Amino acid sequence: MSIAPAFDASTTSLHSEAFPDCAVCGAQGWIPVYQGAVRDGAFGNSRSGAVVAECVGCGVQRLDEASCQDDAVYTDAAYRELLGEAIDTKGFHAAHDPLQLERLNVVNPMTLRDKVIADIGCAAGSFLDFVSGLAHWVVAVEPGKPYQDSLRERGFHVYDFTADALEDCEGSVEHAFSFQVIEHVAAPGAFMSEIAALLAPGGRVTISTPNRDDLLMSLLPEDYPPFFYRTVHRWYFCADSLSRCGRAAGLIPVETRFVHRFGVANTLRWLRERRPGGRDPLPGLDDRALDSVWRDTLAREGTADTIYMTFEKPAN
Ligand SMILES: [Zn+2]
């Protein structure tokens, strides 16, 4: 990690307004792991002087509070605008529908037929559209007001937050999903506890989040962290800290899968250009078989860019 000489990671422990008691495990000590610029929206925008530190109790990492975006950003159009993404339902679907195959693959071979399901932080509901035909009852939790009318029109039961859904659905959801949300929330411990309360006994929840053991974090310790750490993500998980977060809410981790969303050219462009190349191929390396082996290798090693972890609520 890129540690500025101003502090010594081996001895400094933070505890302050910027690093209050851990919102996963309650521990009171944070060891700084990164200091410098972090991404603020799309690549090219950054905020300087940020600090990321790791909890001494559960190993989760967090961005200092002053560098985090205000949570209110998620209730209106500001968040998608910050990312340079579409703010209307149609635009969201155009961008996100093609990404759902990755999520359906992770559901495989579980079936959602006749089940009560929920998507926590579903945005415009791309994933729910792919699975709602099988489900008996669909709960859509989404604070973003621009999406809610459309979600209701499609027959989903819409709530701003999980706590609002508990009144109607406590103990009844058989499979909940929450993709790329936990890294944003104010308190991941409470977030998981509320989902656990929503679940039926024996019910499951699948959580996805960026993997801080992403290969590029170790390959490019100077250039990649200022891209990986970002103002909209308060929390940074590896598989171990994510499993601890679920266990703290009384959930049992039952499956962990890693998914890498880019081909080998993306990594090579990072190494060559020190910047994101998205899905742009490189001459001579535009080969689906090669990319497939690359993705599988990183998934096997646990160094892919995304973690999918499924937890089960004990039956009694
Ligand atoms: Zn902790």
Contacts for 20 with CB less than 8 Å, ≥ 6 apart: 65
Max Cα separation, the chain? 57
| Average confidence (pLDDT) over 166-183 | 97
Question: How is residue 253 written in tokens?
Answer: 């981790």
Q: How many whole angstroms from 163 Cα to the centroid of ligand 1?
A: 22
Residue 256 CA to ligand 1 centre (angstroms): 20
Band of the pLDDT at 277, cuts 50, 70, 90?
confident
Which residues neighbour ligand 1 (ion) by CB within 5 Å? 22, 24-25, 27, 55, 57-58
Residue 6: the pLDDT is 42
Mean pLDDT of the chain: 92
CATH number of 71-312: 3.40.50.150
pLDDT of residue 279: 87
Task: Report the pLDDT averaged over residues 242-250.
Answer: 98
Instruction: Let me know: does 254 contact 310? Beta carbons within 8 Å.
Output: yes
Amino acid at 6: A
Mean pLDDT of 43-72: 93
Backbone torsions φ then ψ of 273, nearest 5 degrees: -110, -10
Dist. CA 264 → ligand 1 center (Å): 34
pLDDT of residue 86: 65
The reported pTM is 0.92
C-beta of residue 269 within 8 angstroms of C-beta of residue 282: yes
86-109 pLDDT, tens per residue? 668 999 899 999 889 999 998 888
Q: Which residue has the higher pLDDT, 30 or 75?
A: 30
Distance 55 CA to ligand 1 centre (A): 5
The model's confidence at residue 83, banded by pLDDT at 50, 70 and 90, is low
Examine the pLDDT at 110 and tell me if it is beyond 60.
yes
Q: Is 5 a residue whose pLDDT tops 60? A: no
Share of the chain above pLDDT 90, in %: 80
The rounded Å distance from CA 176 to ligand 1 centre is 24
Q: Does the pLDDT of residue 36 top 50, yes or no? A: yes
> 3-class secondary structure for the chain?
CCCCCCCCCCCCCECCCCCCCCCCCCCCCEEEEEEEEEECCCCCCEEEEEEEEEECCCCCEEECHHHCCCHHHHHCCHHHHHHCCCCCHHHHHHHHHHHHHHHHHHHCCCCCCCCEEEEECCCCCHHHHHHCCCCCEEEEECCCHHHHHHHHHCCCEEECCHHHHHHHHCCCEEEEEEECCCCCCCCHHHHHHHHHHHEEEEEEEEEEEEECCCHHHHHCCCCCHHHHCECCCCEEECHHHHHHHHHHCCCEEEEEEEECCCCHHHHHHHHHHCCCCCCCCCCCCCCHHHHHHHHHHHHHHCCCCEEEEEEECCCC
CA of residue 25 to ligand 1 center, whole Å = 4
Residue 85: per-residue pLDDT: 66
* 15 C-alpha to ligand 1 centroid (Å): 12
> What's the CA-to-centroid distance between 192 and ligand 1, angstroms?
14
Among 95, 80, 111, 61, residue whose Cα is nearest residue 235 = 61
Residue 72, pLDDT > 70, answer no
Confidence of residue 17 (pLDDT cuts 50, 70, 90): confident
Q: How far is the CA of 1 from the centre of ligand 1 (A)?
A: 20
Q: Two tokens at 60? A: 């989760």
CB 71 within 8 A of CB 183: no
For the chain, the domains span 71-312
Structure tokens at 235: 């929390």
Residue 2, pLDDT above cutoff 60? no
User: How distant is the alpha carbon of residue 148 from its chain centre?
Assistant: 21
